[in-house]
Amino acid sequence: MLTTRSVSGSSQSPRSPSSQPYLSVSVTDPVKLGNGVQAYISYRVITKTNFTEYQGPEKIVIRRYSDFVWLRDRLFEKYKGVFIPPLPEKSAVEKFRFSAEFIEMRRQALDVFVNRIASHHELQQSEDLRTFLQADEETMERLRFHETGIFKKKPADLMQIFKDVQSKVSDVVLGKEKPVEESNPEYEKLKHYIFELENHLAEAQKHAYRLVKRHRELGQSLSDFGKAAKLLGACEGNALGKAFTELGAKSEALSIRLQKEAHQLLMNFEEPLKDYVRAVQSIKATIAERANAFRQQCELAETIKLKEINLEKLMLTRSDRVGEAEHEYKELKAEGEEASRRFETMVRLMNEEIVRFQEQKTIDMGIAFHEFAKGQARLANSIADAWRSLLPKLETCSSA
């Protein structure tokens, strides 16, 4: 399998589209539609592929954020054990929701999301992905409204789920029920790694946010200082005034440079870190699914044992309920075997997924930190060159 777009969303050229399979997806052209609380952003999703399952070599559709949510939810329900790529958060703050910067961040994150799916050896075969990339808007709207499952439950239903979970936790804490947990050293190691990684990534992202903020604040301060210095220069009207004016101009130029670098820092450093925080949270959701599958397997095994004991008693007493009990036992045993197969498949997939995740994380984090260092070096050189060019004129004024 070869995709013409990496998981980070950067384009790559296929060696030979005619002979080697490729699937390239681009999320472009965000447009605001509607007004007030009904307003939303639509995106043009362009797919280029030579996969025979698709309708043609190129398809362009219009999608909104809720369509991406639909795809994520469908994949999460169907591909147990696979780390489903995360979606960017939905901003609830009206004044930020339609800002140019937020829209571009969202577009970039959605592009990364869909390309991670398109480049995944299992997820790229999904019928739901093909539907998402090819269906018309009316079909997608109909699919969204007919979706079922936890992601589409009413608030009252969700509250009941949370209460059930809370009750279960309370039973465990009070000793009424012992938790059924998987005792596997490798699995424990994986959980420890993921929880530690989430903490460290979140901490790094928090400080990256502060760096972006500091760059913007320094840029604004330089802009304000530049205006003040130019006004001061206009008052003087001599060599000192000219030096002040040039100082103000340099400050304003550096302010623009800092604001641009802050934006680059946001998009190429803070956002990738934030995206990996979301990715780890997605992995934690898969871990929770694995824990649930293990509990179901254990509970079925216990029930099967009880049914087997009951069947043996009925057979000894030659009860007329033997046939019915035997049928129930066979059905339950088949269900238990299926649960065991599902759990084993989930374990196998998670083992493969964590290797793939770590390999991709190494690449993506390497790029992010390289871009960060390169940007900081570029900015430092620009600042040093700007101030250095002013030194001779300022020295002349100070020695006059």
pLDDT digits (tens, 9 = 90+) for 207-226: 999 999 999 999 999 999 99
Q: In the structure, what pLDDT confidence band is assigned to residue 5 with cuts at 50, 70 and 90?
A: very low
DSSP string, 135-173: --HHHHHHHHHH--SGGG--HHHHHHHHHHHHHHHHHHH
Residue range 370-390, pLDDT digits in tens:
999 999 999 999 999 999 998
- pLDDT for 382 equals 93
What does the pLDDT look like over 277-307, one tens digit per residue?
A: 999 999 999 999 999 999 999 999 999 999 8
**Least confident piece of the model among 16-20, 85-89, 172-176, 263-267:** 172-176
More confident residue, 251 or 166: 251
Distance CA 368, CA 353 (A): 22
Distances (CA, A) of 255 to 210, 247, 376: 18, 12, 15
Mean predicted confidence (pLDDT) in 48-77: 94
Q: In this structure, which amino acid lies at residue 156?
A: A
Tokens for 291?
Answer: 């824990």
Predicted confidence (pLDDT) at residue 140 exceeds the cutoff of 90: yes
Tens-place pLDDT, residues 226-255: 999 999 998 887 888 888 999 999 999 999
Pairwise pLDDT comparison (208 vs 14), residue with the higher score: 208
Mean pLDDT value across residues 302-314: 89
Cβ atoms < 10 Å from Cβ of 219: 20
Q: What percent of the chain has pLDDT over 70?
A: 85
Rounded to 10 degrees, what is the CA torsion of 160, 166, 167, 172?
Answer: 150
Beta strand ranges found along the chain (DSSP E): 23-33, 40-49, 58-64
Element (H, E) at 315: helix 271-316
Residues 54, 47 contacting (CB under 8 angstroms): yes
pLDDT tens-digit readout, 19-58: 688 899 999 999 999 887 788 999 999 999 999 999 899 9
pLDDT at 151 over 80: no
**Residues 269 and 176: beta-carbon distance below 8 Å:** no
Q: Which residue has the tokens 């035997």?
A: 326
More confidently predicted of 95 and 332: 332
